[in-house]
Chains A and B, each alone.
Chain A
Amino acid sequence: MSKLNKLMLAVAAMCGSGAAFAAGGAVADEFKWMTFAVFGAIIAVTMAITYWAARTTHTTSEFYAAGRSVSGIQNGWAIAGDYLSAASFLGIAGLISLYGYDGFMYSVGWLVAYITVLLVIAEPCRNIGKYTMGDILAFRNDPKKTKTVAALSTITVSTFYLTAQMVGGGVLIKTLIGIDYETSIIGVGILMLAYVVFGGMKATTWVQITKAVLLVIASLILVFMVWSPYGFSLPAYLQAVVGDEKIVAQVAKLLGDKATTMTPEELGQRFLEPGLFLKSPIDQISLGLALVLGTAGMPHILMRFFTVPTAQAARTSVIWAMAIIGGFYVLTLFLGTGAAMLVGPAKIASIDAGGNMAGPLLAQFLGGGEQSYLGNFMLAFVAAVAFATIVAVVAGLVLAAASAMAHDIYVGVIRGDHATPKEQVVAARVASVIVGIIAITVGILAKGQNVAHLVALAFAVAASANLPAVFLTLYWKKCNTYGVMAGMVVGTLTAIGLVMISPNMTYPKAVLASANKVLNGEPAVPAKEAQPAVERSSFMCELFAMDGCVLAKPAQPASAEKPAKPGAADKLAGLNAKLQPLEASLPTITDAAAKTAAEADITKLKKDITATEKAKAKAEADLKTFEGQTTSIMGLEKPFFLLKNPGLISIPLGFLMVILFSLFTRDKRSEEMWDELYVRQNTGINAEAATAH
């Protein structure tokens, strides 16, 4: 045990020394010590949990399933913890702060997803399964074949989700406190490995619970502070939101030309109306389908149902998870609009374009602002919770991928289920280290890449491959090995393939064109007459870019002539020409009011110059990176598949493949085991029991 102790101390020390290199970030230098203190305290708590959990983690069931001793309520908090990852916790608050209603609408699908989990997945999985999704499929299908396919799919989904979390985490820590990207990734990786390798599922679960409780408390405090000045009245609060001039300015910016004919009241109200962010309803339905069906196929969520003692406890845990997750998203409405009103969308976007800093910045503002102790303490607290979130979610994903590797592939397929208990635990720990190292490597390699679409892709693969296989195995008598294999392979490949040719990829031609626009300016656009609405030629044209397709366009009002825009170099010269005489004249101004006005002008000009220089540098870098390239890595000049999320096509295809292959092939075992599977999934007879301590 002392060895364990030393290792943990070493981990803590490494995280501490990494922190010492910090510079830059959202927190001012003189308050950094406070951030590190809060981070240190949270890391210390999680280490204590791991130490405690490690003492009771010896057998396979303890390592993968916490000895099936987690209560329903505890598991509910842990599921909520797994789900309120940085993407949904920081991301949705950010979307609401920048785009209002659409951000809130986006959050709904994440909760509705749990209805599928509750009604069709949680209890049967607890009654049938042991440690992994592969166990559920192998119950009546050919064990070696289905375990191999299930493990590959689990590792694929986990890797996509993991990469998004790692990159998001690295960027978040850098933005908040200025620790290097690489150091952050290694820190996250080592901490997470400490939880998983020593404490297994028990440590991972309790770290999730701790984090989820802290997250909910922090959000409740912030919402209380935001909402209480309005006497907790929804209309009064939203009245203040729509009347705020920062929000009016944001809506005007989003709407562009259309905003010129609207009054400030209309612009403010527009923030509470749909359509500022989500433009394509078909894409939204596709994403909604992936969320609602994908959550139930997420390996790290499925795995949680093996940690409770009974199917009834699995049911209780989903109910609690739904209460916590739903309640949290309702709070997010206030966090997002509060951040927009108090901090301002422009400032939020200036620190992180995706709005991820909305929550932390709101905390800083409510505590008293950038220069106050309380403000920086609250920022540090929210940031530390966000950090714990990433580490804990990554730990859950690594555990899921490692269990697929060790339990399904090594023990199930290679050793034919004949490994000794000791071998199994060693295999599980070794697999965790392998997956952990892969996660750190991928995280560092993916630096600077746009990985936001990987979360959506992970859900799409889970919905297209895992859910049809698990669902039909549990509920359809005729389902068999070949159907499951065909469905999982085709579902995974279709989802990935469609994303590769979708607008998510980088298309050099478009990048080069926009870079050239920035550098060389745009020519004047002549005045246009009003255009009537155009109807699309067919539904398929909304999905694929085919020859002869006419896309739907709403009617356009007549527009006035737009003047030419100067290139970056000309714009900079113009700004500097304005700045110099102002600066020169500043010492000569004696009138105090005039002087303040001149100083404000100078600050604004300097800000514009910095922004233009930044845009110019980015455009030049883009030109250099994509010089001479005309096609994406798939050899396309522009996207062929037009939706960002492939679910609308890949999910029905996954189901269809399972059904067709099951109907046209025969598998004796799948037929013989049906009675046992169906009786057991409904009654829980012979379900894996909890280990007694």
Chain B
Amino acid sequence: MSNPNINWAAIDSNPKFQALHRKKIFFLWGLMVFSLIFYFLLPIGAAYYQDLFKTKVWGVVNFGILFALSEFVVAWLIAFVYSKKANAQFDAMSQEIINDVNKGKI
């Protein structure tokens, strides 16, 4: 259970943790806001830009179908981009903090 010897406030104010916090907040909010805007473009477009959605671009395949399919692709891309970044950077940064805590440096 919770370890009374850890000084949480000290970790929180440690520059390494602050750096991780800033990087994560900036990155996560950016992706989150982008994904919400992109998602709501679909119902809004389908309701108010019907002519665009009905435009045939590939045989009978219209813009609306391609746009709906692009929602899937973008969702997968966001997941991919986030996991790349988290695996490569966030995990390493937090591991460094954990190591410092274990060695008693913080």
Contact = CB atoms under 8 A, between A and B. Distances in A.
Q: Do A and B come from one complex?
A: yes
A685 B1 CA distance: 11
Given A105-B68, A112-B35, A119 B75 contact: no
Interface of A: 101-102, 104-105, 108-109, 111-112, 114-116, 118-120, 234-236, 238-239, 241-242, 269, 272-275, 278, 281, 284-285, 288, 292, 312, 315-316, 318-319, 322-323, 326, 329-330, 675-676, 678-680, 682-686
Contacts of B79: 114-115, 118, 318-319, 322-323
30 contacts: A112-B35, A114-B75, A114-B79, A118-B78, A235-B58, A238-B60, A239-B60, A272-B65, A273-B50, A273-B54, A274-B46, A274-B64, A281-B46, A281-B48, A284-B47, A292-B36, A312-B91, A316-B83, A318-B79, A319-B79, A319-B80, A322-B75, A330-B69, A675-B12, A676-B6, A678-B12, A678-B21, A679-B11, A685-B98, A686-B6
B58 A120 contact: no
A281 B43 contact: yes
Give the one of A104, A118, A274 with max B CB within 10 A: A274
Interface in B70-86: 71-72, 75-76, 78-80, 82-83, 86
Given A119-B32, A326-B75, A679 B39 contact: no
Contacts of B17: 679, 682-683
Contact of A682 (B20, B64, B72): B20
Contacts of B65: 101, 104, 238, 272
Nearest to B38: A112
Interface string B25-45: 000100110011001101110
B40, B75, B91 pick with most chain A CB within 10 angstroms: B75
Contact of B98 (A284, A322, A323, A683): A683
Contacts of A275: 46-47, 50
Interface majority SS (helix, strand, loop, mixed), chain A: helix
Contacts of A686: 1-3, 6
B60 A273 contact: no
Given A272-B65, A288-B40, A683-B98, A116 B58 contact: no
Nearest to A139: B2
Nearest to A289: B40
Contact of B60 (A272, A292, A684): A272
A119 B27 CA distance: 10
B89 interface: no
Nearest to A688: B1
B88 interface: no
B18 to A, nearest CB: 11
A636 to B, nearest CB: 28
Nearest to A330: B72
Nearest 3 pairs of A and B residues by beta carbon: A235-B59, A281-B47, A274-B46
A89 to B, nearest CB: 17
A235 B20 contact: no
Interface string B50-61: 100110101111
What secondary structure prevails in chain B residues at the interface with A?
A: helix
Nearest to A268: B60
Contacts of A326: 72, 75-76
Given A274-B47, A274-B53, A682-B24, A112 B39 contact: yes
A115 B72 CA distance: 11
B58 A234 contact: yes
A685 B20 CA distance: 15
A105 B43 CA distance: 8
Contacts of B1: 686
Interface of B: 1-3, 6, 8-9, 11-12, 17, 20-21, 24, 28, 31-32, 35-36, 39-40, 42-44, 46-48, 50, 53-54, 56, 58-62, 64-65, 68-69, 71-72, 75-76, 78-80, 82-83, 86-87, 91, 94, 97-98, 101
Contact of B61 (A108, A235, A685): A235
A272 B87 CA distance: 40
A675 B72 contact: no
Given A112-B39, A115-B35, A685-B6, 13 more contacts: A101-B64, A104-B65, A111-B72, A115-B78, A239-B59, A273-B53, A273-B64, A285-B40, A288-B39, A315-B83, A319-B83, A323-B76, A676-B8
B60 to A, nearest CB: 5
B86 to A, nearest CB: 6
A104 B71 CA distance: 11
Nearest to B97: A683
B32 A116 contact: yes
Given A272-B60, A292-B39, A675-B8, A104 B68 contact: yes
B53 A288 contact: no
- Which has the most chain A C-beta neighbours within 10 Å: B12, B72, B80? B72
Contacts of A238: 59-61, 65
Contacts of B28: 119-120
Contacts of A104: 65, 68
A115 B62 CA distance: 26
Given A288-B40, A685-B98, A273 B62 contact: yes
A686 B97 CA distance: 13
A108 B36 contact: no
A124 to B, nearest CB: 10
A97 to B, nearest CB: 16
B71 A108 contact: yes
A585 B3 CA distance: 94
A284 B28 CA distance: 26
Contacts of A272: 60-62, 64-65
A527 B38 CA distance: 44
Contacts of B72: 108, 111, 326, 329-330
Nearest to A101: B64
Contacts of B42: 105, 108
Given A235-B59, A292-B39, A330-B72, A315 B64 contact: no
Contacts of B62: 269, 272-273
Contacts of A315: 83, 86-87
A115 B87 CA distance: 17
Contacts of A685: 6, 98, 101
A136 to B, nearest CB: 15
A419 B94 CA distance: 35
B59 A108 contact: no
Contacts of A292: 36, 39
Nearest to B7: A675
B44 A281 contact: yes
B7 to A, nearest CB: 9
Contacts of B91: 312
